[in-house]
Amino acid sequence: MRREFKLPDVGEGLTEAEIVRWHVKPGDQVKVNQIVVEIETAKSIVELPIPWDGVVAGLMADEGQTIDVGVPIIAIDEPSDGTAPAPENHLEALADDMVPSPPAEGAVEPGAHGSPAPKEERQAVLVGYGVKQGPSKRRPRKSTTPTGPSRAPSAGVAEAPAEGGATPSRGAPSGAGSAARGTAEPGAPRTAAGPAAPVGVSGAAVLAKPPVRKLAKDLGVDLRTLTGTGPQGSITRDDVHAAAEGAPVAAPPAVREREERIPIKGVRKLTAQNMVASAFTAPHVSEFLQIDVTETMEAVKRLKAVQDFAELRVSPLLLVAKAVLVAARRYPMINSSWDEAAQEIVVKHYVNLGIAAATPRGLVVPNIKDAHELSLPELARKLGELTDTARAGRTQPADMAHGTITITNVGVFGVDTGTPILNPGESAILAFGQVRDMPWVVDGQLAVRKVTTLSLSFDHRIVDGELGSLFLRDVGAMLEDPLRMLAWS
């Protein structure tokens, strides 16, 4: 039984995602809940499990391709007798899957186990991810030109799917009187289409994914003349490019050698939208404080020798985080948000501590839930896990939701200070600069001390100058003398 797994909505109302990496290939056997693909949404990298046992019949999207939610991305052949069929017996099934069947008229996105979802709403495919109620938002698709159903099998290369990720159609079986079926969106009229796959002189189906077929069409390569080097003899992009070698290619404009264009998508796109919204919604104020953190650096060394921290990563950021938590308890208004709709200030009596992290895919701000309840070793453990997960690109949407106050460590880049922009929905963010040796006056004498600069940006609708100054002063005082953290806790 052939089943198609559609791209689910893994966040609240997301409409598309990019295929980052496939963990399987056609012919592989898969088990229920096995991770088969990594996708990048506007929020993070997400791993998707497959809800069925079976054999991979085909991958319906390439790595790097952006796919709409609800579009099939992988086809699975389920065993009919409880035993997974042998991968080598799926040549015919793979050929048929290269152009999958369209959804039935009026069909809607399936739920977790293939059951139909109610019209006008989507059901979550992954446990723990919510969805927005209401109809799915899709980008407009380019329509394909209908062709007659009586076209001969050898008429040429099958049409590639329209740009924008439209699902290709499954062709009718070859032979006289076979009617071809066209691609159709739910509720949209169907259009006729040609055969599922071109057939060579020997009558064998040409195995190629839709993107490969489109590439061949664009380069003017006849797929029937190629010998595939992919799984089960399928034709790959390399095969098409190799066949196209020698064809004249127009030289690119000189400007391309001087400029590079990078698509704005995924995490970077969402970050840009959030920063623009924050900068032009909340009136920002920034204050700066230069402090002597010699005692903090000494405390870090001593903590590393304590047995409770033996297997943990101990850094100055740990004590900065602890100082922020203590100061937030002393000044609760710093840990609040502005509710424009209700015209209320929401004071949070809990701290979900955000830590800004730079990743290859852009800036993410995961947060430690209920950080105010953690002991110092527990806080160190959570900071280490958060950092490792972010660097690996595995931060999940839930890890970045509901933050209340944020720290950004610009010192790791050798920067003294900055004016950070508020994370949307928060009223304060603290920047921690690099720690370096500087001349400092101690008890009337000039000495070389460990010095850093703190910068606090806050929402002036909620936090006035006095409150912001008191909070920053107390954070600085605790980092100058860590014993104050104990006294004020």
CA 378 vs. chain centroid, Å, equals 27
Active site residues: 460
Q: What is the DSSP string of 173-196?
A: PSSTTPPP-----TTS-------S
Tell me if 211 sits within 8 A of 187, measured CB to CB: no
Residues 6+ positions from 438 with CB-CB distance below 8 Å: 448, 449, 451
Tens-binned pLDDT, residue by residue, of the chain (489 aa)? 889 999 988 765 678 888 988 999 999 999 999 999 988 877 677 889 999 999 999 999 998 888 888 899 999 998 876 554 444 444 344 434 433 444 444 443 333 333 344 444 444 444 333 444 444 444 454 444 444 444 433 333 333 333 434 434 344 344 434 333 434 444 444 443 444 444 443 344 678 887 888 788 888 888 888 888 887 788 998 888 888 875 444 444 455 578 887 788 777 787 788 888 888 888 999 999 999 999 999 999 999 999 999 989 999 999 999 999 999 999 999 999 999 999 999 999 999 999 998 887 778 899 999 999 999 999 999 999 998 998 887 888 889 889 999 999 999 999 999 999 999 999 999 999 999 999 999 999 999 999 999 999 999 999 999 999 999 999 999 999 999 999 998
Domains of the chain: 279-488 (3.30.559.10)
Q: Other C-beta atoms within 10 Å of 245: how many? A: 8
Phi, psi values for residue 189, rounded to 5°: -70, 145
Tell me if 336 sits within 8 A of 462, measured CB to CB: yes
3-state SS class at 309: helix
Residues, the chain: 489
